[in-house]
Amino acid sequence: MLERITSAKNPTVKGLRALNQRKGRVSQGRFLVEGEVLIREALGCGLTIREALAGDAHAAFAEELAARGARAFTVPGELLATVCDTVTPQGVCASFDLPAPLPLNDTPALIVALDGVQDPGNLGTIWRTADAAGFGALLLGAGCADPLSPKVQRAAMGSGFRVPFMLADDLPQALSALRARGYRVVVSDLRGEDFYRRPDPGERFILVIGNEARGISEATRAQADMRLKLPMRGGAESLNAAVAAGILMYGLTEHL
C-alpha cells in the first residue's frame, strides 16, 4: 500500500512541479515524464526513475514503479493536475535522472542539427522523425526549446529517450569541428538549390534545420557544404519546420 499525499504544499509535490521549468530541472538534475506509456518507454531505455505520483486509477502502476525503485505516492486527481503540464493529466507522472548529453567527439553517421527551433512541438516531432528515419543523434544549437521539457518529450513520444542529443552553445563552431572529422553539412535553406537535384551527401552528414521564422543563421549557413530547398509548386511560401525536416530526412536516407 503506497503512501498518499493530499497537500499541494508537500515538498515532493512541489519538487516535481518545479520540473516543468528548466531552472528546476537543472537544479534537481531530473526531468518529468507524464503518462504510463512514456514512463514505460523511459524505463525501457534504461533511465533511472526517482519519484512517482499517481491518481487512484493508476495506483497499481505506481506499485510497479515502487518495485522498480521509485518513491511512489498516490494523490487526488486535482493535486496531480497541479503538477502535470498536460491539459488532460495522464493519471501518473514520474521524475527521472537527466540523461547525459552525448559528447561531441562520439557521434553517429547521421545527425540532425537544429539552429534555433523554438517550438517544443516541432522539436519533439523532429526527434520522433529522426528516430524513425534512422538518424543517430540530435545536435541542438542555442535558442532551441529545452529538450527535456514535458512538451518536447510528449511530442517525441519516446524517441527522446532513444535518440541521444548533444548541446552546442556555438553551433557553427560545432559544425566546423564535425566537418573536420569528415561530415558534410546539408542545410535546409529557402534560398538554396533544388533538393531533387542535389549531389550525394555521402555516408556521414548533418542535416541542419533552421528557426521557424528566421530560418538558418548566417554563421550556420557559412558552414554549409550544400544548401537545399524543397520545391514550392503552389502558393505556399514555406513548410512547417517539422514537416520540412521529415521530408528532408527521409529524402536523404531513401537509399538506406
Residues that bind its own copies (CB under 8 A): 125, 128-135, 155, 157-159, 162-163, 196, 230-236, 238-240, 242-244, 246-247, 250-251, 253-254, 256
Q: Which residue's CB is nearer to its own copies, number 101 or number 121?
A: 121
Q: Which residue's CB is nearer to its own copies, number 33 or number 72?
A: 33
Shortest reach from residue 1's CB to its own copies, in Å: 35
Shortest reach from residue 238's CB to its own copies, in Å: 8
Shortest reach from residue 250's CB to its own copies, in Å: 5
Q: Which residue's CB is nearer to its own copies, number 177 or number 239?
A: 239
Shortest reach from residue 26's CB to its own copies, in Å: 27
Taking a C-beta distance cutoff of 8 angstroms, is the pair 210, 192 a contact?
Answer: no
Q: Which residue's CB is nearer to its own copies, number 176 or number 253?
A: 253
Q: Which residue's CB is nearer to its own copies, number 75 or number 156?
A: 156
Would you tell me how many other CB atoms lie within 10 Å of the CB of residue 216?
24
CA distance 238 to 246: 14
Shortest reach from residue 115's CB to its own copies, in Å: 19
CA atoms within a 13 Å half-sphere pointing along the CA-CB vector of 228: 24
